[in-house]
């Protein structure tokens, strides 16, 4: 049986965010964005109260898929189709709660082998149906929905039954894993044999290996292990041209990289069925150290110098001043994080270090490996932090961050229940442009809030460091004015942030991909000629536009 997230929100039924044990959060939200945490939540309707359009699948198509994967693995009930109609973006959640299901899939098909994926794709092509691959359903950029105007049958191909570790080559440090494996299942199978993939995106609990590859995912420890493009050494993809199988080699010079074409393809080229990925022995030691910097600029300079040093941390993260205030506000009463400013740290920062407490920024830096490696890297990082005016505050807050790192998306559902909108948007740019880009994005968001006539907040953290630059991850939230549609207001704010990325030399997305949400900026990002190359690639592989049409480019 394949388990899915709840149809109307993030994560599992019965799991939700609560603010009562976080005394600083409600005042922060009210002050910064006018969000009233004490307001009674908007009731989410039962699915039975909404009108779910009936499946339009012809009986002969249903029978053909039953022949391909087994009748018990072809579903057309309301719940399964609704679960598969969208991902989990803010736009998706708003629409689905309104009963706006877009172009629902007519069938949900669950293949159990690569041969069944091949058979299912052939059925779809022969019937001129639309086929959309589905992993964990966590996508937040509109990669899982069919065009509203689509008149052909629409099929969601759920890879949830393909979730096994097939082979572990300990000599080469490679694992062959089926694409439908969710993060926790994948890690449990590797951990049992002493290994780890080391890939932990925010969506880890509800996303799959195939989904990570299809969207060029990055994880919280990508500084050490690389992003999924670095981790993935070979892929198998069922396409209209046959099964594409790249070689399990570290490097090759055999023309344009087919592996790279598959990375970030979002189902436009075919269905990823398995991948060979780099794995690592479980670390002897793993710690996350917390630091404070006098301001965000100092933190960015420190991250730059850490990236250029001989230290090799697993995590380099620094929050700007607004996110630091938010993080402290979300800490539970009596927790290691909340106690930071009640154990003399505040006094030391203000009097001993001369910090402006409204500008100081919190940083988490992770170290992983042998005890000797951790000790050496931490010593190098401590010296760099000190050089940029920062100081360490121990591992307690880092341990708490590590424990709660996958819970953040539940906050978005919580504020949506109270009529407020919150979302994220991320980019990467060169070290030379980071601070200017940050400041311009914040200014663009605030200008957008003013345009729609509301208060809101936007904050940011540097989340991944590279040789030449870094990723900055922005979060924003606001209360839509009563006289304006919430999604219309959302488009103005999100669009302003995305445009500021492009205007400041950043990319449209560092790791959430394109989908439909970011498609307006593809040509600016890739160049007009580059966008035409991508279109030609998709048209050459899938001339009938049967595979996830509308994602990335038209």
Residues labelled catalytic? 473
DSSP states of 472-498 as a string? EEEEEEE---TTS-HHHHHHHHHHHHH
Q: Is 48 within 8 Å of 442 (Cβ atoms)?
A: no
Kindly tell me the sign of the dihedral angle through the C-alpha atoms of 547, 549, 553, 554.
positive
Instruction: Count Cα neighbours of 350 within 13 Å in the Cβ-side half-sphere.
Output: 7
Distance CA 352, CA 345 (A): 10
3-state SS string for 284-321: CEEEEEEEEECCHHHHHHHHHHHHHCCCCCCEEEEECH
Placement of tokens 């600029």 in the chain: 297
Distance CA 407, CA 10 (A): 10
Compute CA 269 distance to the chain's CA centroid, rounded to the nearest angstrom: 21
Placement of tokens 């069938």 in the chain: 107
Phi first, then psi: what are they for 188, rounded to 5°? -65, -40
Q: Is 302 within 8 Å of 293 (Cβ atoms)?
A: yes
Burial of 540 (C-beta count, 10 Å sphere; 0-12/13-18/19+): exposed
Placement of tokens 């894993």 in the chain: 177
Phi first, then psi: what are they for 421, rounded to 5°? -110, 135
Tokens of 160: 């949830």
Closest CA to 476 of 2, 27, 29: 29
Q: CA angle 426-430-433, nearest 5°?
A: 85
Long-range contacts of 41-45 (CB under 8 A, 24+ apart): 41/417, 41/418, 42/416, 42/417, 42/418, 42/419, 44/8, 44/9, 44/97, 44/417, 45/97, 45/99
Phi first, then psi: what are they for 55, rounded to 5°? -60, 140
Tokens of 466: 């590279």
Tokens of 288: 């996350």
CB atoms within 10 A of CB 290: 21
Strand partners, 108: 75, 156
């Amino acid at each position: 049986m394949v388990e899915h997230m709840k149809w109307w929100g993030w994560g599992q039924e019965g799991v939700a965010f609560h603010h009562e044990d976080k005394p600083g959060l409600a005042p922060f939200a009210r002050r910064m964005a006018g969000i009233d945490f004490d307001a009674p939540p908007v009731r989410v309707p039962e699915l039975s109260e909404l009108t779910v359009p009936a499946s339009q699948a012809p009986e002969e198509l249903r029978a053909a898929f039953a022949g391909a994967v087994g009748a018990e693995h072809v579903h057309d009930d309301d719940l399964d189709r609704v679960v598969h109609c969208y991902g989990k973006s803010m736009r998706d959640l708003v629409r689905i709660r309104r009963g706006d299901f877009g172009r629902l899939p007519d069938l949900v098909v669950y293949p159990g082998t690569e041969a069944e994926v091949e058979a299912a794709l052939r059925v779809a092509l022969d019937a001129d149906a639309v086929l959309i691959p589905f992993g964990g359903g966590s996508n937040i950029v509109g990669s899982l929905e069919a065009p509203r105007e689509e008149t052909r049958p629409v099929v969601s191909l759920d890879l949830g039954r393909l979730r096994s570790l097939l082979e572990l080559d300990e000599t080469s440090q490679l694992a062959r894993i089926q694409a439908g494996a969710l993060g926790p299942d994948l890690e449990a199978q590797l951990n049992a044999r002493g290994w780890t993939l080391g890939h932990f995106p925010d969506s880890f609990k509800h996303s799959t290996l195939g989904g990570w590859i299809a969207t060029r995912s990055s994880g919280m420890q990508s500084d050490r292990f690389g992003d999924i493009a670095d981790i993935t050494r070979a892929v198998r993809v069922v396409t209209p041209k046959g099964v594409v199988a790249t070689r399990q080699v570290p490097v090759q010079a055999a023309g344009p990289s087919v592996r790279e074409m598959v990375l970030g393809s979002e189902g436009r080229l075919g269905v990823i069925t398995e991948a060979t990925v780099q794995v690592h022995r479980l670390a002897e030691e793993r710690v996350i150290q917390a630091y404070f910097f006098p301001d965000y600029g100092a933190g960015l300079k420190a991250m730059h110098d850490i990236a250029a040093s001989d230290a090799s941390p697993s995590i380099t993260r620094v929050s700007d001043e607004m996110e630091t205030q938010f993080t402290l506000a979300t800490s539970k009463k009596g927790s290691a994080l909340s106690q930071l400013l009640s154990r003399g740290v505040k006094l030391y920062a203000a009097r001993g270090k001369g910090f402006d407490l409204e500008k100081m920024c919190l940083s988490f830096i992770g170290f992983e490996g042998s005890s000797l490696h951790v000790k050496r890297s931490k010593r190098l990082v401590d010296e760099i932090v000190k050089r940029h005016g920062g100081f360490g505050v121990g591992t307690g807050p880092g341990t708490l961050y590590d424990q709660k790192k996958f819970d953040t998306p539940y906050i978005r559902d919580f504020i949506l229940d109270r009529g407020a909108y919150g979302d994220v948007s991320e980019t990467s740019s060169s070290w030379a442009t980071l601070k200017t880009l940050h400041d311009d994005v914040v200014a663009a968001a605030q200008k957008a809030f003013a345009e729609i006539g509301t208060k809101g907040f936007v904050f940011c953290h540097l989340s991944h460091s590279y040789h030449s630059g870094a990723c900055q991850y922005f979060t924003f939230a606001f209360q839509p004015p009563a006289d304006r549609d919430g999604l219309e207001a959302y488009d103005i704010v999100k669009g302003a942030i995305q445009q500021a990325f492009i205007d400041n030399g950043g990319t449209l997305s560092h790791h959430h991909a394109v989908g439909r949400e970011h498609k307006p900026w593809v040509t600016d990002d890739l160049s007009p000629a580059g966008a035409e190359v991508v279109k030609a690639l998709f048209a050459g592989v899938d001339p009938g536009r049967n595979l996830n049409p509308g994602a990335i480019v038209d």
